[in-house]
Each structure stands twice: as C-alpha cells, then as structure tokens.
Amino acid sequence: MKIGVVGASGYAGGELLRILSTHSLFAIEAVSAHSNAGELITSLHPQLTSMSGKRFSQFSPDLFATCDLVFLALPRGESATAVAGITAIKPTMKFVDIGADFRLEDPSAWARYYGGDHAGHWVYGLPEIKGHREKIQKAQQIANPGCYATAVALALTPLAEFAHLNDVVVVAASGTSGAGRSAKSNLLASAIMGSMSSYKFGGVHQHTPEIEQCVSQATGKEVRISFTPMLAPMVRGILATITVKLDQFISTDELRSHFAKYYEGQVFVSILAEDEMPATHSVYGSNSAHLQVAVDAHTKRAIVSIAIDNLGKGAAGQAVQNANIMCGLDSATGLSAQGIGI
C-alpha cells in the first residue's frame, strides 16, 4: 500500500517515517513538510539513512493523489485544510491524524482548551479499549489519541468496575519531545537538565477533555480528572500515576487479576510482575504500555502506574497500529512490543 505523510519534519513525523521504512506492507510514497520543503530528510532525521538523498516536498493535494492512506502529523488547526484538499481529489482516501483536530466531539470543549474553529470528530483510535477496534476496522478516518490521553485512558478505564470516576487524580511526566521541535527557551538543555517542573498547572491541559470523553464512552460513567503534567529531563517517554477512590475494597491481587483479564491478548499492554515498576527506558522505541497496579489500604485508593513512549504508543506507533487495523492487517505489523532500554 502506498503511504503519504503530511508534516513529516517534526519528532512524531520522523518516528513515523522510521517505522514505515521497515513496514513489510506499507511503502512511503509521498512526504511533505511546509517550512522544511526542499531540505534533505536526513538533515532533520539523520537516523533515517534508508531515505538518504530524499527531500521533503512542499504540501500539495496532488502529491498524495496516488496514496492509499495518509498520515497527518500537523500542528493543531491545520489537518482539516489538508484533508479537504486531498479528499477533493480522492474522496476514498484513508487518514490517520496524529494531531488534535478531530479528537473531541464537543465543540465547546474544543473552544475552551484549544480555541479556534472545531473541525469535527473522527473515530477515536485507542485499539486496546473495548469497542474501539471494531470501529477502527470500519473507519476511513481515525483520530489518533494524544500521548497523555493514551497513557491515562489505558490505566483508568479498567477501574470503572470498582470505582466512581468523577474524582480521579493524575500526575504525569513527559519527555521534551512531547513539546515538539520548535525552539523554546524552557526546553534548552541548560533549563531542563537536572530539573523537573509542572506546566499547564491547574487543570488546563488540552488532553483533559479527551481523556474524560474516551473513558466516559468506554465505561458509561461520568469521568472527571484533575491532571497535572510535568516536564522531565529526558527526550522521550511518559510516566503517569493515576489514583482513584474505590467504591468497594479489593486487594491488590484482585486488581492485578482484573487488569490482566481486561487486557488479555493485547500484545502491546503488559501488566508487570509484582516486584517490577514501569520505567520509561523499558518502552523506549516501542509501541508498548507497561502497567503496575496496587491498592492503598490506608486510603482505599487504587493506584496505577503506566509508562509509554510518547512518540511510540503515544503517537507514531499507535498511528501505524490504527492504520494496520483499518487496512485489515495484523495490528502489530511493523511494530515492536520490545523496548530498547538498558
């Protein structure tokens, strides 16, 4: 199948090209990058030696006319324009949008957390959440979840059986690649090395309504989270801790068994052994999510720790997983469940 990537100069776009370059059934047909058009792909992604000599093209709908599926890796507010141009030429095109434009159903939530015009809503693609895979299989257009949203939704959804979800506390740390490639003073090495800080403090992070929407639809329960993100001195990875007050007391062993059953057969979700904790280096370069669960008997709270690679399961890896499902392939084609950490 012929694949196009719009907006391939960013970190997620580069990771997408890396995964696609070794995919057995997807062939890269067209690659565009607006501000970097004409530059060598390896000038921004030197790891992609298989693309040596190839350059980013200027975006044009005609460039993608021969593709079967197009990935969008654009800043928010830009995907809808690209989609309109491409579908005007090829109405049957399949899309996976790594950006935020089509994730939220509620226009008021978009206005509050993002601002600007609401582009609409596509099928939300988090394959391990029950009911999602069947919708992905039938879809032509998939909204890829955000990185934090992926981690929190995977950790939170199975808890619905034992807890109300209207008082959820989330604290999560992300690597600097989650902020994108644009130069920012707070992302300079001298600012982040040996230091951690919170940001978008006070419940204003844009993934908040996305998480609430996803988990509420999956569980049928009202979901309300208090989410505090942090910037960690690492390039990639997310480590999140989710705590929920239990309605009924259960043991840690019972909670572990419940999570294991919920994610049974899911190759990219692992419930770790009792003496192991999720670590970002363990999922580095993979499409995996590592989880650990516990019950705090003192406060009667369930605690879930989860680690993902924000560029893998949190972006490009999950996008390819969704594309595989849309195209009738094994969802793991071209992807690895094994991290490259040491």
The alpha carbons of the chain give a radius of gyration, in whole angstroms, of 19
Q: What tokens does 92 get?
A: 């049957």
Concerning whether 67 is annotated as a catalytic residue, the answer is: no
Asked whether the beta carbons of 156 and 145 are under 8 A apart, the reply is: no
Q: What tokens does 258 get?
A: 């419940």
Q: How far is CA 256 from CA 43, 243, 248, 304, in A?
A: 46, 15, 15, 10
Q: Which residues pair with 204 in a beta bridge?
A: none
Q: What tokens does 219 get?
A: 């569980």
User: To which residue do tokens 């206005």 refer?
Assistant: 111
3-state secondary structure of 307: strand
Give the DSSP letter of residue 312.
Answer: I
| 295: enclosing H helix or E strand | strand 289-296
* The one catalytic residue among 67, 147, 214, 327: 147
Hey, which bits of 123-190 come out as E strands?
A: 123-124, 141-143, 165-174
- Among the listed residues 272, 303, 287, the one whose alpha carbon sits nearest the alpha carbon of residue 125: 287
Q: What tokens does 16 get?
A: 């997408």
User: Hey, which residues are catalytic here?
Assistant: 147
